[in-house]
Structure 1
Amino acid sequence: MDISILYRGSLKSCNFNCPYCPFAGKKMNRQCLEKDQAGLARFIDFVADSRHHFHILFTPYGEAMVHGHYREAMVTLSRLTQVKKVAVQTNASFSLTADHWLDRLNPDTAAFWLSWHPEQMSRSRFEKQYQALLNKKIAFSCGVVELKEYFHDISQLRKKLPRSVYLWINAYKRTPDYYSKQDIEQLIRIDPYFENNLFYYPSKGRFCRTGQNVFSVNETGQIRRCHFVNQILGNISSIDFGQISRATACPNETCHCHIGYIYLRKLHQQKLYGSGMLERIPEGFIYQQ
């Protein structure tokens, strides 16, 4: 069975101070980090002992890749025969040299979802970070939460990126009608799929791949259908995914986060992203200038 897992440990900290993020600037003490590390180690052991094949995306509350245990997890998982893909959402502030971890990644299975925060990281440093991935032929997408003050920065980044790299734009949805029609047209010229991220999709009663071959797992091994549905389906220590796999309808009224709505069957996002679902890379993407 091929299974996609969105893994979110107990980490709740970030080295950035974005004003819209609840984890901005928060730090974890040693005890909390050790708890998170122990949970991640159990998850890796589970994957290594499993008969299934996995596509894994780390979706931390904050930034994980500044911590050595997540870098090592990427290396280890990328080289397990059970793992077809291991990807991570990251702000790209990770070390390029620590323990030669990038050199030890398997470029055939590792991938990155890079989020650029212009107010926290210069474009030149961000370019240095993604260039290291390009040099090692590691797949990645990159993008920005689109606040209006970032229009120019995003446009400049798109000009710098190779045409084969997808630059996604996350819509700022906290303010209704935040974008004008002209804004949307401008952003679609940079990200042709920007409109997909503009909406709160009606999801209640709609069928979704989560709970069937996509699941959420936390540091204690608890399994949920996704991050946004609290019902616990079991634990990786005692239940096989084949036992709980069901095609079921979503219980929530709406779904608006990319890592949620892409699995709604009615949106046919799997056809768009293909093998790049986790790292947010549309199949065969080439930017049309």
Structure 2
Amino acid sequence: MNLAILYRGPLASCNYDCPYCPFAKRHDPPELLRADRAALTRFTGWVAETTDVRLSVLFTPWGEGLTRSWYRDAMVSLSHLPHVERVVIQTNLAARVDWLADADPRSAALWTTYHPGQVTRERFLRRCSRLSELGIRYSVGVVGLPEHLDEARALRAALPEEVYLWVNAAEGRRYDATEEATWTELDPHFGYSVRPHLSLGQPCHAGETAVSVLGDGTVRRCHFIQTPIGNLYDGSWRAALMPRPCGTSICDCHIGYVHLKPLGLRDVFAGGVLERIPADWPRRHLVQAGPREVQRRP
């Protein structure tokens, strides 16, 4: 069995105050941080003991995890487990990355996001350079806002060619054909993000070979379908894994629609689904091929 787990504990604090993020500059009280640490410790223990499953883990905290030692420790420890294929975390790369020298670069990877106005491009690029020196796989992303375009272009020019730069469509923003083409020059797969995917009734890997897990062990099909299908710690998740059609009308987040079977994105990102790296990157002749029949973002 191969299973991808998207883990999200109670942590919701972040050191950045991006205007497009609802969790900007949020501070978690000490008791919540203790609860988050305890939940993550329990989860990593479960991963270590569940050796009959080939596991991949993506940490998707609401806040910034790598400023907390327990997420760094979890990344390192899980990377060395032989039955863990990949361990990844979404991060703004604000924390130093030298600790990754203790991780296994064959399985540890980062999904990083550059936030102009929160950190200088030079500082962000220094962190990226250190990741490259350490041999850690990573992708870099930006939010496709007009005020970010010049920075995104400069970032692309400065990054090594083998580093994939992805672009997320800004929430609530409509892109005309010219704008879409401009961002697609930076990210050939931008078309998948620029318009939501009609997902209701569509077959999806979520709930079959990928699940979402909360800090208390609640297992859901994905982050966007709230109905539980079991719990990690009582074993009920095993019988719950099965093919199911999607129950939501649209899917407009990469960590969701990458699992929609009709899109075939698991093939596009084969070997790098969790860290968001296309299988054939850095081939530059890639063209955007996202579905056109769906509605534009309202």
Q: 1:151 aligned to 149, 152, 158, which one?
A: 149
How far residue 96 of structure 1 moved from its aligned partner, in angstroms, is 3.0
User: What's 1:103 paired with?
Assistant: 101
Post-superposition offset of 1:240 = 5.2
Q: Where do 5+ consecutive residues of structure 2 fail to align? A: 286-298
**Aligned-partner SS, 1:7:** strand
Deviation beyond 3 Å, 4+ runs, structure 1: none
| Pairwise CA RMSD | 1.1
**Matches of 2:97 and 2:251, distance apart in 1:** 35
Choose the corresponding residue for 1:223, options 207, 219, 223: 219
SS of the aligned residue for 2:57 comes to: strand
TM-score by length of 1: 0.96
Q: How does 1:153-232 map to 2 (within 5 A)?
A: 153-175=151-173, 177=174, 179-232=175-228
Q: Which residue of 1 aligns with 2:86?
A: 85
> Once the 2 structures are TM-superposed, how far is the Cα of residue 128 of structure 1 from its aligned partner?
0.7
The residue correspondences of 1:60-75 to structure 2 (distance < 5 A) are: 60-75=61-76
CA-CA distance at 1:95 after TM superposition: 2.1
* Displacement of 1:243: 1.4
Q: CA deviation at 1:9?
A: 0.4
Q: Please give the alpha-carbon distance, in whole angstroms, between the structure 2 residues aligned to 1:231 and 1:186.
A: 39
Instruction: Quote the sequence identity (%).
Output: 38
Q: Kindly state the Cα deviation for residue 167 of structure 1 after the two structures are TM-superposed.
A: 0.2
Aligned counterpart, 1:15: 15
Number of positions where the alignment pairs a residue of Structure 1 with one of Structure 2:
284
| Separation of aligned partners in 2, 1:173 and 1:68 | 31
Structure 1 residue 239 corresponds to structure 2 residue 257: no
Q: Which residue of 2 aligns with 1:33?
A: 33
Distance 1:183 1:199 in 2: 13
TM-score (norm 2): 0.93
The separation in 1 between residues aligned to 2:222 and 2:64, in whole angstroms, is: 20
Instruction: Write the letter of the residue equivalent to 1:267.
Output: L
Aligned equivalents of 1:201 and 1:87: distance in 2?
25
Q: 2 CA distance for matches of 1:105 and 1:284?
A: 25
Aligned to 1:58: 59
What's the CA shift string for 1:2-50, capped at 9, x where partnerless?
Answer: 1000000000110000011111001112111010000001101111111
Q: Unaligned regions of 5+ residues in structure 1, if any?
A: none
* Structure 1 counterpart of 2:270, one-letter code: G
